[in-house]
Structure 1
Amino acid sequence: MPVGKTPRKRLLAAGTAIGALALSMASPAFARSEAPSPGRTRPNIVVILFDDVALMDLGAYGGEARTPNIDRLARQGARFTGYRTSPLCTPSRAMLLTGLDNHRAGAATIEEILPPEMRNRPGYRLRIEPEVLTIAERLRAEGYRTLMAGKWHLGHGPGELPDGQGFERSLALDASGADNWAPRSYMPYYTDAPWYEDGRPTKMPGSFYSSDMLVDRLTRYIDEAPAGRAPFFAYLALQAVHIPVQAPARFSDGYRGRFDGGWESLRQARTARARQLGLLPEGAPVDGFSPDARDWDALPADERRMAARSMEVYAGMIEAADAAIGRLMQRLEARGELDNTLFVVTSDNGPEPSDPVHQTGMGLWMRLNGYSWRLEGLGGPGSLNYIGREWAEALAAPGRRYKFYVSEGGIRAPLIVSGPGVAPGRRIDGLTFVTDVTPTLADFAGARPTPEAPAMDGVSLRAVLEGGSGPVRGPDSPLGIEVSGNAALYRGDFKIVRDMPPLGDGRWRLYDIVRDPGETRDLSGAEPGRLTAMLADYADYEARVGVAPLPPGYNTQKQLTANVLVRQLPTLAGAIGALALVLGGAGFLAWRWRRRRGGRA
C-alpha cells in the first residue's frame, strides 16, 4: 500500500481487493458479466490527457496539426463527437480519475481562482476526498501496476499526490503548469516548478522537452516489469498545449505560413470542416467572433507575424506530443503489448484564451525569471509564448467561447478510445461525459464494485464501444456541471447554460444543442416551460453534489489577481526588506561620511 494513504483509503482499497478475491473464488453465477472471459488477457490501459486542446485540434477531428499516431488510434477504435468535460483542469482531472462529479470528488474549481472564504469546505478542498477511490486504486486492487507521469494539480503533500492516490510509480508536476524546457515556473503564482517522484521532491534535469521527458519516464516505469507479468494502467498527463506554448523548432517550422490568413480565416475553415466531418449539422448556424475581437487585417504587419508564429508553435507542440506518443506505442509494440493495450486520448477542457505577457507587472517578472516574448526563438527555451483570445475563439469552432466557460467551446472536447474490445472505425455521437471514463475502464478491466466507496456518477461506455447502437444516456437523464459559477445542464436534445462575468452576464439560456451546437438561438423565451423544468433539474443537481454559493461580486480574473498577490506577499516582503536594508545601509554610510567630513572641517 502506498505511503501516505489515509486509513479510510487503506480500508476501501483492502475491501476492493478482498471483494475481488471472494468473487474470483465464488461460482461463475456470481461473476460480473463484464469481467474478462476465461482465457482472455486483461488489457493494459493508457490514458493520455492533453491540456487545453480544442475539439478540432487533433488530425482525426480535422485539425491543422499532424497527428499520425493519434489518427491511427482513431481509425482502429472509436471517435466521440458528443463528449463533454469541465471548463477547467482540476475539476476535469478529478472526474476523469474517479468517475464522480467534481464537487463530490473534492475539486469544485481550481485553487488559483478559489475565494478564500470557500477554502476547506466540502468539495472545495481541491484534492481528492479521503473516501473517494481513483481508477488507479480500483485497478491496483485488481493486480494492475499503476503508473503516472505529468501534471497532477489535484492536491499537495503527503497522501494527496499520486502515490497517495493509488499510483505505484509517478513523476508528478504539482502545479497548474510549468516551463516545457526547464524545471521552472511559468507564472507569478508559483515560485518554482514542484516536481515529485513517488511523492518525494525530485531534482529534474536542467533542460528537457516536456512531452519527450514524460513519455521517457512513463516508458521507464513500464519497462520495470517484464511484459505479460501483470497488466498496467498508465496515466500520461501532458503539458501540451498549456501556456507556455513551446515546441522544438523542427516541429513548429513545418507550419510556416499556415496561419497567415488570421483567426477569422481559421474559424471559417474549421466550421466548414466541422460540417464535412459531421461535428456540425448541415445548415446549423455558427456565431462569429466577440464584438471586441481585433480585426486581423487591421493589425500592423509585425503583430500579425507574431500572432501567426504563435499558432505555428501551437501546432508544432501538438505534433511533438503525437511524436512522443508514437514512441510509446513503438515501445509497447516491441514488448509485444500494443495489441492488448486500451488507449484513451482526450483533453481536459477547451482552448486557453489568456494573455499572460501583457498583464500588469509581468514584464518585470519575466525579466527576473529569464523569459522573453519576441519573434526570434518564439516557443523555444526562455520564450513565454501564448495564443490569446482570438485564436482561442477560432480554435473552439464550431463552439462558442473557450476555456473557463461552459459554453460548448469550453467543454466539448475530443475523445478517442482504441484497443481490444473496441469496434474499429466507430463514430459515437451521443452525449458522453468525463465521469464516464473511470467506469468504462473499470468495466474493461473487470474490476469489481466497491460498495464502501461513493457510487460513481458516470456510466460505462463499453456497450457502445463494442458496437452497440443504444444511447449512452436516456432522453430524460439530466447531466449537470458547475465550476466557479459557470454552469450547464443537458437533458435530451437541450442544454441550459449560465456563463458568468467577465465574459458572460450570469443569465440562464436555453439551446437545442443537437440542432444548434453553436448556441446561437436562445429558446428560453419561446419555451419557458422547458427552461423552468431544466432549472429545477439543475437545482436538484446543485443540492445533490454540494455546490456552494459564490461570494457577492465574485469575478474569476479579479480573484486570480488577488490570489497571485497573496502568494507573492512573502517574496515581495523579502524584496522590500532587502531594499530597506540596502537603503538603510546606504543612508548610514552617507551619514558616517558626512560626519567624518564635518570632523575634518
Structure 2
Amino acid sequence: MMLGVISMGFVQAVKRPNVIIILADDMGYSDIGCFGGDARTPNLDALAAGGLKMTQFYNASRCCPSRASLLTGLYPHQAGVGDMVNTRVQPAYQGYLNQNSVTIAEAMKRSGYNTYMAGKWHVGQAPEHWPVKRGFDRYFGLIDGANSYFGNIPYRPNQTLTIALDDKPYDPGPGYYSTDAYTDYAIKFIDEGQPSGKPFFLYLAYQAPHWPLQALPEDIQKYKGKFMAGWDELRMQRFKRMKASGILPANAVLSPRDSSLRDWNTLNTDEKVRWDDQMAVYAAMIDRMDQNIGRLRKKLRELKQDKNTVIMFLSDNGASHEKINPTGFTPQMFANSQKMASEPGSFTAYGIPGANVSNTPFRMFKHWEYEGGTSTPFIAYGPGIVKPGIKSDRPAHLIDLMPTCLGLAAAPYPKQYRGNTITPAEGVSLLPVFRGNLWKGHPALFFEHEGSRAVRQGDWKLVSEFPANKWQLYNIRSDRAEIHDLGAKNPAKVKELVGLYENWTKHAGVIDFDKLEKKRSD
C-alpha cells in the first residue's frame, strides 16, 4: 500500500513507513541538548534539526499512567491505569491495560505491521498482561517500574522483579547494561523481521534516566566536574540557551529555585562534590541513551530503511524529585544510596536538587500536574513525512500518538477487538503538524493523578494539587512557569474550566483520590 504525503506544497508517494516511538523515563524538560541540557545528545539533536520540535507536548505526569495513555490513545483512567499498577476493584484503577482498549501494536499488527517492543513495560505485571499478549510480536525488557541497570536486583522488601524475553523471564548475564541491552534486542528484532518485507512498529522504552543513577565509567568521566557551578547557575545557563534556541519565548520567566533548596554557596565542598557526581552520572545515562539511538539509526541506514522510518521521541513525565529512603527500600539498598553515585554498587537518586535543574524553567516535578510534572520535549523525524525545521508551540498530548501512528500506517482504529467494544480514541493525529499545515488541536486537555488535577484550554491552565485542592489559574503564554495565579481576577474562567474538568471526570471514570485505597508504587 502506498501512503500519499502532502507537505507545504510538495507531494511524495512512499511505502507505508516504519514507525518508532522512543520513550525516556523520568527525564526532565531541559535535559537533552536541543532543549537546553548539559548531556551530549548529538543523535537526538540531529533528529530535531532535521524534523520537528514540539515545545508544549504533555504526558500524564507519572510512569505507568503515561505508558497506558501512549499505548492506547486514551486517558489513563479509560485504559484501566488511573493510578499505578496497584490492583483495585474500580475498573479505571485496576492497574493494567483493560480489554476495552487496544494498543498501537494491536491496531498496526492487524494492518500488516511487524510489532516490536524493547524496554520498560509497567502497565501489567501478570504474564497474561505482558507485551506479547497486547499485540507485540517480540519483546525484551523490564516488566516492572524500576530496576538496577546492571541486572535483576530487587530493591524493596519481598519484591520480585522480572526481565522478560517474549513471554519468559530472562536472567541477564555478566556485562549487562539495560540501555545497551534494550537496543541490542530492538536491532535484533528489526533484523530478523526484514525478510518478511513488512513495515515495522517499534516501541523502545528506555529505563534511563530513572533512578537508580547508574552509568558506565567511560560515560561518567565526560561529565565529572561539569556541575560544580551549582544549581542556580546551571538553571540560568539552561534558561538562556532555551530562550536563544526558541524553545522558550523571549518573555519567558525562570521559576524561583525550589523552596526546599539552600543557596548553593552555603554548601560545603563535600556536598558540592557529591551533587556534581550525581549529576555527572545522570548526564551519562542520557548520553548512553543517545549513543544507542545512534546505533539504531545506523542499523536503519544499513538496512536502507532510514528514508522510510518515522522516529518520535519524548519522556513519560517530568524529572523525579524522589529519594531513596530507609522505609521503602531494603537496608542494603538504602546503604548503597549513601555511596557516591559513580561508585560500583551504588543505588542513588538526585532528588529535588537535580530535578529542579532538569525541569528548567518550570517548578514542581513528576507526579504533579504543573508544567514540571507534565511537560516533555517532543521530537519527530521522518524524511519526506516530517518537514525539516518545524517548531510548534501548539499543546499536544500522548493521546495523539495513536491516531498519528495509525495515520502513518493507513490503519483503522477498531471499534471491536477480540470480541470487546473498544473505547473511542481521544487523540488528534499530528500528521498536519508534521507537514507544517494547520492543525485543529484540542478544545481542551485534561489531567488527574492521585488527586492532583489540571485543565489546559488554549492559553489558560487550571491546576490544583492534592490534598490542598485549591484551583489556580495561569496564562501559559505569558507565564508558563506558573508563578502568577490569576484565579481571583478571572472567576468566570475558573468556573468555566472547573465545569469542563468535572464533565471530563465523568467521561473518563475518574474517582476522587481520597476514596481510593492508598497503596505505594514506583
Structure 1-normalised TM-score?
A: 0.81
Match of 1:129 in 2: 98
The answer on whether the counterparts of 1:248 and 1:316 sit within 8 Å (CA) in structure 2 is yes
1:236 aligns with 2:204: yes
The answer on whether the counterparts of 1:162 and 1:172 sit within 8 Å (CA) in structure 2 is no
The answer on whether the counterparts of 2:4 and 2:14 sit within 8 Å (CA) in structure 1 is no
- 1:69 CA drift (Å): 0.9
The answer on whether the counterparts of 1:432 and 1:472 sit within 8 Å (CA) in structure 2 is no
Match of 2:496 in 1: 533
Report 1:71-110 matches (<5 A).
Answer: 71-110=45-84
Moved more, 390-399 or 134-143: 390-399
The answer on whether the counterparts of 1:294 and 1:390 sit within 8 Å (CA) in structure 2 is no
Match of 2:403 in 1: 439
Root mean square deviation, CA, Å: 2.3
Residues 458/380 of structure 1: CA separation in 2 closer, same or farther (3 Å cut): farther
Q: Secondary structure at the match of 1:346?
A: strand
1:488 aligns with 2:454: yes
Residues 190/43 of structure 1: CA separation in 2 closer, same or farther (3 Å cut): farther
Match of 1:248 in 2: 216
Amino acid at match of 2:446: G
Q: Secondary structure at the match of 2:482?
A: coil
The answer on whether the counterparts of 1:266 and 1:395 sit within 8 Å (CA) in structure 2 is no
String of CA shifts for 1:256-315, please: whole Å, max 9, x gaps. Answer: 221101111122222222222233332333321232322322222111101111001111
Amino acid at match of 1:365: Q
Match of 1:366 in 2: 333
Q: Distance between the aligned counterparts of 1:447 and 1:553, measured in 2?
A: 38
The answer on whether the counterparts of 2:3 and 2:14 sit within 8 Å (CA) in structure 1 is no
Amino acid at match of 1:353: H
- 1:516 CA drift (Å): 0.5
The answer on whether the counterparts of 2:119 and 2:205 sit within 8 Å (CA) in structure 1 is yes
String of CA shifts for 1:309-350, please: whole Å, max 9, x gaps. Answer: 100111111001111111111111111111111101110000
Report 1:105-116 matches (<5 A).
Answer: 105-111=79-85
Residues 537/278 of structure 1: CA separation in 2 closer, same or farther (3 Å cut): same
Report 1:442-461 matches (<5 A).
Answer: 442-452=406-416, 453-461=422-430
The answer on whether the counterparts of 1:256 and 1:312 sit within 8 Å (CA) in structure 2 is yes
Q: Distance between the aligned counterparts of 2:379 and 2:251, measured in 1?
A: 26
| Count of aligned residue pairs for this structure pair | 512
Match of 1:177 in 2: 146
Match of 2:432 in 1: 463
The answer on whether the counterparts of 1:181 and 1:381 sit within 8 Å (CA) in structure 2 is no
1:195 aligns with 2:160: no
The answer on whether the counterparts of 1:94 and 1:154 sit within 8 Å (CA) in structure 2 is yes
Amino acid at match of 1:205: G
- 1:46 CA drift (Å): 1.2
Q: Distance between the aligned counterparts of 1:436 and 1:225, measured in 2?
A: 27
Residues 336/492 of structure 1: CA separation in 2 closer, same or farther (3 Å cut): same
Residues 57/32 of structure 1: CA separation in 2 closer, same or farther (3 Å cut): closer
Report 1:34-73 matches (<5 A).
Answer: 40-73=14-47
- 1:399 CA drift (Å): 1.1
Q: Secondary structure at the match of 1:511?
A: strand
1:259 aligns with 2:227: yes
Between the two proteins, what is the percent identity of the paired residues?
33
Match of 1:478 among 438, 444, 447: 444
Residues 215/32 of structure 1: CA separation in 2 closer, same or farther (3 Å cut): closer
1:217 aligns with 2:185: yes
The answer on whether the counterparts of 2:157 and 2:329 sit within 8 Å (CA) in structure 1 is no
String of CA shifts for 1:370-411, please: whole Å, max 9, x gaps. Answer: 945323xx3454111211112211211111111111100111
Q: Distance between the aligned counterparts of 1:169 and 1:553, measured in 2?
A: 35
Q: Distance between the aligned counterparts of 2:404 and 2:71, measured in 1?
A: 11
The answer on whether the counterparts of 2:114 and 2:193 sit within 8 Å (CA) in structure 1 is no
Amino acid at match of 1:146: T
Match of 1:404 among 357, 364, 367: 367
- 1:95 CA drift (Å): 0.8
Q: Distance between the aligned counterparts of 2:261 and 2:199, measured in 1?
A: 50
Q: Distance between the aligned counterparts of 2:41 and 2:343, measured in 1?
A: 21
The answer on whether the counterparts of 1:65 and 1:315 sit within 8 Å (CA) in structure 2 is yes
Q: Secondary structure at the match of 1:326?
A: helix
Residues 455/413 of structure 1: CA separation in 2 closer, same or farther (3 Å cut): same
Match of 1:294 among 262, 279, 297: 262
Q: Distance between the aligned counterparts of 2:279 and 2:158, measured in 1?
A: 26
- 1:136 CA drift (Å): 0.1
Higher helix residue share:
1
The answer on whether the counterparts of 2:370 and 2:463 sit within 8 Å (CA) in structure 1 is yes
Q: Distance between the aligned counterparts of 1:164 and 1:40, measured in 2?
A: 31
- 1:202 CA drift (Å): 2.1
Q: Secondary structure at the match of 1:225?
A: helix
Q: Distance between the aligned counterparts of 1:139 and 1:431, measured in 2?
A: 26
